[in-house]
């Protein structure tokens, strides 16, 4: 027996009556749940569904990625194919299941799919380097955590990332775990980062569910709003939105690292989760939730600078939406919590950044300059990705992902605006999602745009994911109910051109509303997120040493040299070094490494100009990595501040790197084979 | 406190209270055990891990949440979110306070912080539960906290996995474990390098110098070390180092400040004619 939903046209098959036996429906119910479940307004399928089977598929994907990493170390060409098959196995089946309207897919299964994908993608990141941190930012936070364990106090200066000790949240948690368990900082850090991942996705699922949630909780049911929203179960939108967030550029790697925002963002998201629940409890309970939100806001502010400002921006926007909505609409839900929390967040930021984290403004100003330059004369085209040309596959998928999101976001935002503009949280997310276009401009128009935009997408993708998911779910719901596109003649009164355009629009909407198309577009966005994110193509798989290649350059010889400096020279010496050893010396070596002496290395001679440059920088020791003469820099620059960035055509000549051997007064104090350390203090003293 | 607000006493009342607060008692017990473990040395790491992870990530936040929001007014997801994020906040914000103490952030102070917050939260939550119970159900018209996400209580049968589900889950765990084992083994096998470190460092008064060799070749290695000073006098050392072992010696430097050039050359015994490493003080190496 079937019935058709008048609003959506979705065909629903009813259960047979009691007198007709207890046969199972011959095909899955459509329309989002059973009749009983619909009457209850709840998820009538609190089961795990096919979650174990999908977890098995994800595990198989992780296994393929592990094998791909092994191929990477072995320099085998099959590694890339294994890697991509593994990634797609992790993500795509879960996506297909998530967008299913079958009532058999319950809330628990959807949440399980989100957490399963999160765990599997974290495993992909973990397996890349399971024994040690290798990315510079991770090593810098490892240094700060190690300093806390050593000194038992916060705010120990960290020359490799001076801002890090001023936002000690993740280090405090990690050292607490390390102290109580006896685990190393690396292991404790990996646990903290992994837990933060799960917490973030759990929080996003709950946030999105509440934003898309039952009408009764957040305001008056509007005529037609449910139909416009496609009569979606909130957990279906929430699950798909969470999976879409996992397609953002840095989700899989950078944001999953042991870095401060990894912990701060989940804290901020839970603040929004609390805010997204309407103040519908007892006054005491409402006050308690606000109190908890205040605590979490404070914790987020002291954990990461940008997250604190991003949270303030969202809370302020929320407060403005509340205020504007209350002025325009009499039945707008009254809620002063956004204003209160925004004020508190601003106060926390002022206090923390004004009294403790005093380097924050100086640290963030260069990033703000990039945004300013975007609208001024300083805009420069985005640079290339280093010395190696970007493969066509990476270019196509990267730009394809941008195109898909950029093209679909605006209509999706329009849909959410029309369907949910009576909900403050949905309005906030819709407005915030439009910042995607601003960040996209930064990415395409500024010289350091890709890096900056990647960092910004971490935040911007949060509302973008919700808006896209809500739009996609509505398109899916409508595709089943949509009548056939009108014949051309029906539009004749308005003209042939208008008729064709509307037919084309109807055709596009019908195509986009097909599950296979949704999965395919999601796959493009997912793959594009990986190819435009981190790690780049030249180190997507781990493998043998490469010059100036971030993780691929961190290997035992460099670490041993850095550790030697700490053991034999003590901490805090002024060092000059190349890009990789800059990080290693600053972290494993706890040295104070200068950034702007690249010309000393490039010069074929060591003369007065080089002496002056070293003296001005206060350099005491020079570290020379002779491997710089064997390869072009994969990342585009040999040194932290490289005047020849992205312009190298040949490696540095070896004689230019060994010229220090013949300079009287320079002591060659360390020889590790590839790495040599010189003591230049005497020659600089003599020059002065 | 009016008599009606007091918890019932007697064995039956105590048993009821214990049953009602079993979750809080478990959290409090964990906190006490963690505090005891912090004071005792030599506890095996697995035991510490088992106790510490819930104390760091869950117990303080759980009891504080129960104290602030008593009753079944939260969905399971919100329950988890609040318990974990509040626990994290205790470490983050509490660490700022511990930093003001002379002892700072040590295992003892961090454990005590987490334990005290857990116990205080548990005590407050138990008191509030007792008051709610003794006060009875809310009067009609009195505002009460609605249940979040009016989800039906989970049906135990519905949550059971089918045999296929169980098999899939077991297989998934096995496959994921295999993946991790392969990844770790791959990193251990490949993320290595073979090298030897040679160094020379003078002391602050430049009267003596430390010469050292460290073997990181991945296997035992025999070396010959030639030490020459400017003017020709020299000395040769021969030694064998196990993997990761080091050799050091201290030499006296010539008295004249500018005239102490010292060159140290290292050879591997298997290739005696090939200079392997070289360091120097005040000299121009070849």
Which 8-state DSSP code applies to residue B155?
P
Report the 10 Å Cβ neighbour count for A202. Answer: 24
Q: Is B207 on the interface with A (CB under 8 A)?
A: no
* Residue B146: closest CA among A145, A323, A278: A278
**A107/B151 Cβ within 8 A:** yes
Chain A contacts of B214, Cβ < 8 Å? Answer: 560
Residues of chain A with pLDDT under 70: 1-46, 214-232, 370-387, 446-447, 480-499
Helix (H, G, I), strand (E, B) or coil at B278: strand
Per-residue buried b or exposed e for A591-624, using 16+ beta carbons within 10 Å of the residue's own CB: bbbbeebbebbbeeebeeebbebbeebebbbbbb
Q: What b/e string do you get for A450-469 counting C-beta neighbours within 10 Å, with b at 16 or more?
A: bbbbbbbbbbbbbbbbbbbb
Q: Does A570 touch chain B (CB under 8 A)?
A: no
- pLDDT value for A44: 45
Spatial contact of A647 and A560, defined as CB atoms under 8 Å apart: no
Q: What is the pLDDT of residue A147?
A: 97
pLDDT at A370: 65
Chain B nearest CA to A280, separation (Å)? 7
**CB neighbour class for A473 (10 Å; exposed up to 12, middle 13-18, buried from 19):** buried
Contact between A109 and A239 under an 8 Å Cβ cutoff? The reply is no
CA–CA distance, A238 with A210 (Å, rounded to integer): 8
Helix, strand, coil percentages, rounded to 5, for chain B: 50, 20, 30
Touching A: B residues 167-196, CB under 8 Å: 167-169, 171-173, 175-176, 178-180, 182-184, 186-193, 195-196
Q: A621-625 and A574-576 as β-strands: parallel, antiparallel, unpaired? A: parallel
Confidence of residue B135 (pLDDT cuts 50, 70, 90): low
**Mapping DSSP to helix (H, G, I), strand (E, B) and coil, where does residue B197 land?**
strand
Q: B210 forms bridges with which residues in the sheet?
A: B201, B250
Q: What pLDDT does residue B232 have? A: 64
Q: Which helix (H) or strand (E) covers residue B167, if one does? A: helix B163-190
Q: Is A63 on the interface with B (CB under 8 A)?
A: yes
Q: What's this model's pTM, rounded to 2 decimal places? A: 0.88
Question: Facing residues of B281 across strands?
Answer: B262
What is the rounded CA–CA span in Å between residue A531 and residue A84?
Answer: 11
* Cis peptide, bond prior to residue A535, ω within 30 of zero: yes
Q: Is the pLDDT of residue B285 over 50?
A: no
Residue A616 near chain B (CB below 8 Å): no
Find chain B residues with C-beta within 8 A of A50's C-beta: 165
Q: Searching chain A, which residue's CA lies closest to the CA of residue B171?
A: A56
Q: In this complex, do B199 and A669 lie within 8 Å of one another by their Cβ atoms?
A: yes
3 state DSSP class of A679: strand
Would the CB atoms of B86 and A289 count as touching at under 8 Å? no
The CA-atom distances, in angstroms, between B149 and each of A46, A672, B103, B178 are 13, 63, 46, 38
**Number of helices and strands in chain A (H, E):** 27, 7
Which residue from A214, A49, A43, A34 is spatially nearest to B153, judged by alpha carbons? A43
Q: Is B246 in CB contact (< 8 Å) with chain A?
A: no
The nearest CA of chain A is from the CA of B199 a distance in Å of 4
Q: Which of B51, B82, B145 sits opposite A281 (nearest CB)?
A: B145
Window 107-126 of A, Cβ < 8 Å to B: 107-108, 111, 123, 126
Model confidence pLDDT, tens digit, residues B183-222: 999 999 998 889 999 999 987 777 789 999 999 999 999 9
| Percent of chain B surpassing pLDDT 70 | 80
User: How do strand B208-216 and strand B246-252 relate by DSSP bridges?
Assistant: antiparallel
**Are the CB atoms for B206 and B245 separated by under 8 Å?**
no
CB contact under 8 A, B186 and A670: no
Among the listed residues A126, A247, A251, A233, the one whose alpha carbon sits nearest the alpha carbon of residue A190:
A126
Using CA coordinates, name the residue in chain B closest to A183: B45
The angle formed by the CA atoms of residues A671, A673 and A678, to the nearest 5 degrees, is: 30
Q: Closest-CA residue in chain A for B150?
A: A42
8 Å CB contact of A296 and B176: no
Residues of B within 8 A of A67 (CB-CB) are: 182
**In angstroms, what separates the C-alpha of B122 from chain A's closest C-alpha?**
16
**Residue A397 near residue A531, CB atoms below 8 Å:** yes
Tokens of A361: 């403004």
**Model pLDDT for residues B41-83, shown as the tens digit of each residue:** 888 999 999 999 999 999 999 999 999 998 766 789 999 999 9
CB contact under 8 A, A292 and B65: yes
Ramachandran area for residue A206 (φ above 0: left; ψ -120 to 50: alpha; else beta):
alpha
Write down the residue that tokens 């760091």 correspond to. B56
CB-based burial label for B178 (10 Å; 0-12, 13-18, 19+): middle
Q: Per DSSP, what are the bridge partners of residue A196?
A: none
SS3 content of chain A, % helix, strand, coil (to 5): 65, 5, 30
Q: Give the one of A152, A203, A270 whose C-beta lies nearest to B106's C-beta.
A: A152
- Interface contact B195-A183, CB threshold 8 A: no
CB atoms within 10 A of CB A13: 16
- Verify whether the Cβ–Cβ distance B91 to A176 is below 8 Å: yes
Is it the case that residue B169 has pLDDT exceeding 80?
yes
Number of alpha carbons in the 13 Å side-chain half-sphere of residue A263: 34
Optimal mutation site among A119, A176, A210, interface B, most CBs of chain B within 10 A: A176
User: How far is the alpha carbon of A440 from chain B, nearest alpha carbon, in Å?
Assistant: 32
pLDDT band at B258 (very low <50, low <70, confident <90, very high): low
What is the pLDDT, as a whole number, of residue A621? 98
- CA–CA min distance A490, chain B (Å): 46
Residues of B in contact with A561 (CB under 8 A): 197
């Amino acid at each position: 027996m079937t019935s058709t939903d008048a609003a959506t046209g979705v065909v629903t098959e009813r259960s047979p009556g009691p007198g007709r036996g207890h046969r199972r429906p011959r095909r899955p119910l459509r329309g989002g749940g059973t009749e009983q479940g619909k009457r209850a307004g709840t998820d009538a399928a609190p089961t795990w569904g096919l979650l174990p089977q999908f977890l098995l598929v994800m595990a198989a994907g992780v296994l393929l990625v592990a094998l791909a990493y092994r191929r990477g170390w072995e320099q085998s060409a099959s590694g890339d194919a294994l890697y991509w098959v593994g990634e797609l196995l992790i993500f795509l089946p879960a996506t297909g299941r998530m967008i299913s309207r079958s009532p058999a897919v319950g809330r628990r299964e959807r949440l399980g799919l989100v957490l399963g994908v999160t765990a599997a993608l974290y495993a992909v990141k973990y397996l890349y380097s399971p024994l040690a941190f290798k990315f510079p930012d991770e090593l810098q936070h490892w240094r700060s955590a190690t300093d806390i364990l050593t000194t038992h106090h916060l705010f120990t200066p960290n020359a490799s990332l001076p801002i890090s000790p001023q936002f000690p949240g993740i280090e405090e948690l990690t050292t607490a775990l390390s102290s109580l368990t006896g685990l190393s900082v690396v292991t404790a850090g990996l646990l903290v980062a992994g837990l933060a991942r799960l917490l973030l996705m759990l929080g996003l699922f709950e946030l999105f569910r509440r934003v898309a949630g039952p009408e009764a909780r957040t305001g008056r049911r509007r005529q037609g709003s449910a139909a416009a929203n496609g009569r979606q179960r909130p957990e279906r939108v929430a699950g798909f939105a969470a999976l879409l967030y996992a397609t953002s550029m840095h989700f899989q790697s950078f944001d999953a690292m042991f870095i401060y925002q990894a912990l701060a963002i989940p804290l901020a998201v839970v603040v929004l989760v609390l805010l997204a629940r309407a103040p519908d409890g007892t006054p005491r309970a409402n006050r308690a939730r606000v109190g908890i939100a205040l605590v979490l806001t404070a914790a987020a502010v002291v954990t990461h600078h940008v997250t604190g400002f991003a949270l303030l921006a969202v809370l302020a926007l929320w407060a403005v939406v509340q205020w504007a909505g209350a002025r325009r609409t009499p039945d707008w839900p009254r809620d002063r919590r956004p204003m209160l929390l925004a004020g508190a967040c601003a106060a926390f930021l002022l206090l923390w950044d004004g009294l403790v984290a005093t380097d924050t403004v100086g640290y963030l100003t260069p990033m703000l300059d990039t945004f300013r330059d975007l609208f001024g004369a300083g805009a420069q085209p985005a640079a290339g990705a280093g010395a190696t040309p970007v493969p066509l596959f990476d270019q196509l998928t990267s730009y394809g992902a941008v195109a898909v999101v950029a093209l679909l976001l605006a209509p999706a935002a329009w849909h959410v605006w029309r369907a949910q503009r009576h909900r403050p949280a949905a309005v906030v997310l819709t407005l915030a999602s439009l910042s995607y276009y601003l960040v996209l401009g930064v990415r395409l128009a500024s010289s350091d745009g890709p890096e900056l935009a990647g960092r910004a997408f971490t935040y911007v993708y949060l509302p973008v994911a919700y808006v896209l998911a809500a739009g996609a779910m509505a398109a899916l719901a409508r595709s089943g109910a949509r009548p056939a596109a009108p014949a051309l003649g029906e539009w004749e009164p308005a003209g042939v051109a208008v008729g064709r355009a509307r037919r084309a629009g109807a055709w596009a909407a019908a195509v986009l509303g097909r599950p296979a198309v949704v999965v395919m577009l999601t796959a493009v966005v997912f793959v594009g997120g990986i190819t435009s994110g981190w790690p780049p193509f030249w180190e997507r798989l781990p493998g043998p040493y490469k010059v100036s290649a971030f993780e691929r350059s961190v290997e035992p010889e460099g670490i041993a040299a850095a550790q030697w400096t700490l053991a034999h020279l003590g901490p805090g010496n002024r060092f000059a070094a190349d890009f990789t050893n800059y990080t290693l010396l600053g972290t494993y070596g706890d040295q104070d490494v200068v950034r702007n002496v690249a010309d000393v290395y490039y010069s074929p001679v060591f003369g007065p100009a080089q002496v002056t440059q070293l003296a001005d920088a206060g350099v005491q020791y020079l570290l020379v990595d002779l491997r710089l003469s064997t390869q072009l820099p994969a990342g585009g620059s040999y040194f932290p501040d490289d005047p020849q960035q992205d312009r190298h055509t040949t490696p540095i000549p070896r004689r230019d790197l060994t010229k220090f051997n013949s300079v009287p007064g320079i002591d060659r104090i360390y020889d590790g084979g590839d790495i040599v350390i010189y003591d230049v203090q005497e020659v600089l003293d003599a020059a002065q | 406190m009016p008599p009606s607000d007091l918890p019932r006493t007697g064995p039956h009342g105590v048993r009821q209270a214990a049953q009602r607060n079993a979750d809080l008692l478990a959290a409090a017990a964990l906190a006490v055990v963690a505090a005891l473990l912090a004071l005792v040395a030599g506890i095996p790491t697995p035991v510490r891990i088992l106790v510490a992870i819930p104390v760091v990530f869950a117990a303080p936040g759980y009891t504080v949440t129960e104290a602030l929001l008593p009753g079944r007014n939260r969905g399971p997801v919100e329950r988890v979110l609040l318990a974990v994020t509040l626990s994290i906040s205790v470490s983050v914000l509490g660490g700022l306070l511990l930093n003001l103490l002379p002892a700072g952030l040590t295992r003892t102070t961090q454990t005590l912080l987490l334990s005290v917050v857990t116990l205080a939260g548990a005590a407050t939550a138990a008191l509030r539960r007792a008051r709610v119970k003794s006060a009875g159900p809310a009067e009609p018209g009195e505002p009460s906290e609605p249940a979040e996400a009016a989800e039906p209580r989970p049906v135990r049968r519905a949550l059971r996995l089918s045999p296929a589900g169980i098999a899939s889950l077991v297989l998934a765990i096995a496959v994921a474990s295999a993946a991790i084992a392969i990844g770790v083994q791959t990193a251990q096998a490949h993320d290595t390098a073979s090298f030897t470190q040679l160094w020379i460092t003078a002391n602050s008064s430049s009267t003596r110098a430390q010469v050292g060799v460290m073997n990181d070749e991945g296997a035992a290695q025999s070396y010959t070390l030639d030490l020459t000073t400017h003017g020709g006098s020299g000395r040769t050392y021969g030694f064998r180092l196990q993997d990761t072992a080091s050799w050091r010696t201290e030499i006296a430097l010539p008295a004249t400040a500018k005239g102490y050039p010292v060159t140290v050359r290292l050879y591997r015994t298997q290739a005696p004619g090939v200079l392997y490493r070289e360091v120097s003080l005040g000299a121009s190496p070849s």
